[in-house]
Structure 1
């Protein structure tokens, strides 16, 4: 094991104990993207502070003039002007901070989504979909809180707050009690005014939920998205939802910016009330004018950080924990990041469209955990096995290591129909996963037209293959959305024709929306057989030279199976079909049948040849291959 991998494993063990957590320094790049706005906020803070600090000075002069029996003149208007200017500057500053926080969340979501949809399939095998979705939704939202709840001046505000309370207590305990009462009234007023923000905040959360739903939709069908070369389009669709969430956040910021000045003015009015009471105490001889001015200065320094101190420390801690979870994903290598280091085998001259040469593949089945970690869908990798084994040293039960393919060798001649049969767990679906490069073999070579698939760009490889999964996932949206996933340029006429070819004309006709008819979440508005036929129609519409059909007729009755076989026969001319079959009717017409058992090829031939030569196949055929 290399030192680099050892470092990753040691860090994984530490994270398992303490959870991912980022440092404050790792938050800075997100802020530096908006440094111009941050400079503007800093400038407004200084200007607002200057306007505010001038107020107690003028207030002291007002008290002095009143005490001496003089005329105030324009001094009152200057003081009122400073109050209004300070409130306006505070509102603008608040709005900019809200915009920065919203933009930081958008940047984090964009980078996280771009990385997440490009992770190796093995990462989706071992991670929970809901956990990944929460990183895009809830965790990124916490970054917003840390920006808007006093990140820039949290420490200074805390010092001012505590120091002001101590100073006020030393100057006059009576005025301190009055000040605390004023603070309570101001907070109550702020809560009342903030009720206007609730509808806008609800809309913002709905948009955030839409982002999470879009991510879960793509991740739930990640194999189909990858096989259809639709990763970029799905990524762009999610980013569109994220942009809508950003706009909803800006709306909240605008409403907040209107509320904040009103709250600021209310606080300043309360501040003037304290001045009046303090003046009365001066007149009664309870305190001196100098003490009153000092107290007012402390009061002002108390009001400034009041909004940022509460919850600032907690929000920073939460945000750094959330940032650690975000970076845990963004720091993972993508599906193609390590391809440059792979040395593919030299091309060979062959008439085979697909060829397996002594292919071996191993994955680890993770133990069931309290957190509900997903088990691998159809395989993993050697690195996955090592990682899980290392986690077991930290207290996690050791996973089961299973060699799925054990030196598998066979060919699929170009333009032929080849069936893979065998008991459950024989490695049939893993064969498809290796062809699509969802995983790479531990040993041996998988070839497409004589080329090692590890030396082919993944987009080029997958553009030549139509893949229909066993579970036939249907993406939320319309019939058209599902059909055009791998064929975005297909016409409506082509979509309608392929639906009728797979006997889905009734689904098309029963809804006036036609191709725009919704299929529901996970295709809930379709039957199991309809979902399977829709997935097959999607692959047929793309018309690739190679079709991989994983038990594609398992949910169909006899009539629909026959209609579907006729449709596949019609498009299979001059194309290569590799079929995982469980029905004898699907197998008997195949040019070649490959029999797998416990990850090994135990027979290759036609139906009649295998019935006489291969006991396993003979037993499977006897039971109509229903395994």
Structure 2
């Protein structure tokens, strides 16, 4: 039975603001700033490419004039061919640089997001779904790629060509330009009005993708339970429902985007018809030459093409801003260590002058329903019910303290407070006489080994799991601690030894083996304080005895806080703290509590020390 009063991760939706997080274009700039040198080269190439493109209609006009006059072309054709080749080479190199930079921006965003995500306060993981967080690292960051590969090149190179063509057209024929600009202005206004809807729809689409990822992660994480419960079809239906939601939002984005795409084409067609019609009359009355009209039409194409690209780029940027809002939502959250910014990183004392290692002094704690300042009142899952009321006791160095009580009494919550996953609502938890709030979390946790209830085994190898808390441990030390917890047979049954894979969530190990591997990980670090939350719950009698001997071997001069569910674990403890409904109802040895505390006597009688 579970002893934890910590809030369990909910299987429903994580809370979201009604309108979702919004991102501004200025928030994209930091992602681009670190790639300034390459972007500077891209800008130079854009200028050269624009110049090469703009020169081509001028050469075409000269070719037509020369042909009309019956003069030899000379080097004009060669120059025109050279311009086309140079323009193509510039475009290709620019494309490579942008693709590379876009990939680098995605990498930077993912690194920043992961660094922030893994340092968030534990309370954030109580209310957020793992799959949704994974989706932000994966699909949301990918949309930033389009900002570089489409938005940037079209914004820079396209604008240069656009304004260059505009100036050339003004010089050739202001009347035709005025008519063209009137048509284009209508299309620009239309696109601007539509673009805001694209951003909103894209953000909602990414949220739906996050819901889908969370549903898949939930079902795959419990696939054996799902199969054993004959719930496969129901889970498939639930996932397909989320997939349909993502599809529907994708279709909505496609519909809105579809309004943008043809606008440039329509603008080009209408402009071309206007230029051909009006231009024909102006050629006929001698206002312009046929060569100028052809040049004007070529410049018209050169102006409309980047305009169409710009419309597409605006669409891509708005989709990226929708995803960036979800990324920034996580990045803007305070990390756990920010609450320790004013704490000097000094060696944590592990024992006070009076020999007390750990002390709870009138500690009150409750998992709040809404997030608040972690420095004052910690926030947890809104569905949590576990609380502590005035808990006080002291654990001396080198002694074993057992926490016992009914499920929901607050035992696991006390270990979470020692680890500073949360801080007390009021009262004080001390390590070596020092308030834990005055110690930064990393320094504190370096002094503590923690084997949580249902301790996870990370996908990877046995070695990687063992080195998680002791990265400098030798192979010999790893083998020794595995034998100490009776896991030597795991090494023997696989030729890979320490490099044997354990599978996702340790699926290639039995439940007891996973528990022992987690304990071996803590024993290998050999910290001054060891917290064990139901560490023998999955073990049979023989393995429990061997594990107790291993713990006893490393427990000398170390402080142990043990949540126990078996009488055999409790009776040898130097001190037993009995909890009920978050309150201490008895403290003493086994023989003392059997006499003084009815609850303990009843628990011991029925072996219900859970």
Same fold (TM over 0.5): yes
1:524 aligns with 2:507: yes
Query: How much does 1:310 deviate?
Result: 5.4
Query: How much does 1:39 deviate?
Result: 2.4
Query: How much does 1:403 deviate?
Result: 6.1
Gaps spanning 5+ residues in structure 1: where? 1-13, 172-211, 221-273, 367-374, 389-398
Could you tell me which of 291, 296, 299 is aligned with 2:293? 291
Going from structure 1 to structure 2, the CA distance change for 1:20 and 1:305 (only over 3 Å counts) comes to same
Query: How much does 1:15 deviate?
Result: 7.0
1:558 aligns with 2:522: no
Could you tell me which of 427, 431, 451 is aligned with 2:410? 427
Aligned to 2:29: 28
Aligned to 1:412: 395
Q: State whether residues 365 and 402 of structure 1, in contact with CA within 8 Å, keep that contact through their aligned partners in structure 2.
A: no
Could you tell me which of 357, 360, 363 is aligned with 2:361? 357
1:223-251: per-residue Cα shift (whole Å, max 9, x none)?
A: xxxxxxxxxxxxxxxxxxxxxxxxxxxxx
1:451 aligns with 2:434: yes
Could you tell me which of 395, 401, 422 is aligned with 1:439? 422
Aligned to 1:537: 520
Q: How does 1:486-505 map onto structure 2 within 5 Å?
A: 486-505=469-488
Query: How much does 1:153 deviate?
Result: 4.4
Aligned to 2:261: none
Q: State whether residues 360 and 392 of structure 2, in contact with CA within 8 Å, keep that contact through their aligned partners in structure 1.
A: yes
Q: Secondary structure at the match of 1:336?
A: helix
Q: How does 1:464-483 map onto structure 2 within 5 Å?
A: 464-483=447-466
Question: 1:337, 1:571 → 2: CA distance?
Answer: 34
Q: Secondary structure at the match of 2:368?
A: strand
Q: State whether residues 352 and 411 of structure 1, in contact with CA within 8 Å, keep that contact through their aligned partners in structure 2.
A: yes
Question: 1:336, 1:293 → 2: CA distance?
Answer: 64
1:625 aligns with 2:584: no
Q: State whether residues 22 and 321 of structure 1, in contact with CA within 8 Å, keep that contact through their aligned partners in structure 2.
A: yes
Going from structure 1 to structure 2, the CA distance change for 1:418 and 1:449 (only over 3 Å counts) comes to same
1:365-411: per-residue Cα shift (whole Å, max 9, x none)?
A: 57xxxxxxxx9xxxx887565x99xxxxxxxxxx4675611000011
Q: How does 1:594-605 map onto structure 2 within 5 Å?
A: 594-605=577-588
Query: How much does 1:121 deviate?
Result: 1.2
Aligned to 1:148: 149
Could you tell me which of 302, 305, 322 is aligned with 2:304? 302
Q: Secondary structure at the match of 1:355?
A: strand
Going from structure 1 to structure 2, the CA distance change for 1:103 and 1:65 (only over 3 Å counts) comes to same
Going from structure 1 to structure 2, the CA distance change for 1:333 and 1:572 (only over 3 Å counts) comes to same
Aligned to 2:569: 586
Note the aligned Cα RMSD (angstroms): 3.6
Going from structure 1 to structure 2, the CA distance change for 1:342 and 1:570 (only over 3 Å counts) comes to closer
1:108 aligns with 2:109: yes
Question: 2:341, 2:138 → 1: CA distance?
Answer: 33
Going from structure 1 to structure 2, the CA distance change for 1:550 and 1:341 (only over 3 Å counts) comes to same
Q: Secondary structure at the match of 2:140?
A: helix
Question: 1:72, 1:556 → 2: CA distance?
Answer: 93
Question: 2:529, 2:357 → 1: CA distance?
Answer: 8
Going from structure 1 to structure 2, the CA distance change for 1:295 and 1:305 (only over 3 Å counts) comes to same
Aligned to 2:250: none
TM-score, with length taken from structure 2: 0.72
1:461-516: per-residue Cα shift (whole Å, max 9, x none)?
A: 21221110111111111100111111111110110111111111111111110000
Q: How many residues align?
A: 484
Q: How does 1:89-128 map onto structure 2 within 5 Å?
A: 89-128=90-129
Aligned to 2:82: 81
Going from structure 1 to structure 2, the CA distance change for 1:567 and 1:453 (only over 3 Å counts) comes to same
Gaps spanning 5+ residues in structure 2: where? 1-14, 177-212, 222-271
Q: State whether residues 56 and 297 of structure 1, in contact with CA within 8 Å, keep that contact through their aligned partners in structure 2.
A: yes
Q: State whether residues 151 and 316 of structure 1, in contact with CA within 8 Å, keep that contact through their aligned partners in structure 2.
A: no
Q: How does 1:211-290 map onto structure 2 within 5 Å?
A: 288-290=290-292
Aligned to 1:48: 49
Aligned to 1:572: 555
Q: Secondary structure at the match of 2:394?
A: strand
Going from structure 1 to structure 2, the CA distance change for 1:445 and 1:350 (only over 3 Å counts) comes to farther
Aligned to 1:321: 322
Q: State whether residues 350 and 449 of structure 1, in contact with CA within 8 Å, keep that contact through their aligned partners in structure 2.
A: no
Aligned to 1:616: 599
1:314-360: per-residue Cα shift (whole Å, max 9, x none)?
A: 221122122222222222222121225689xx996432111111111
Query: How much does 1:414 deviate?
Result: 1.1
Q: Secondary structure at the match of 1:17?
A: coil
TM-score, with length taken from structure 1: 0.71
Q: State whether residues 533 and 563 of structure 2, in contact with CA within 8 Å, keep that contact through their aligned partners in structure 1.
A: yes
Going from structure 1 to structure 2, the CA distance change for 1:365 and 1:535 (only over 3 Å counts) comes to farther
Question: 2:390, 2:18 → 1: CA distance?
Answer: 39
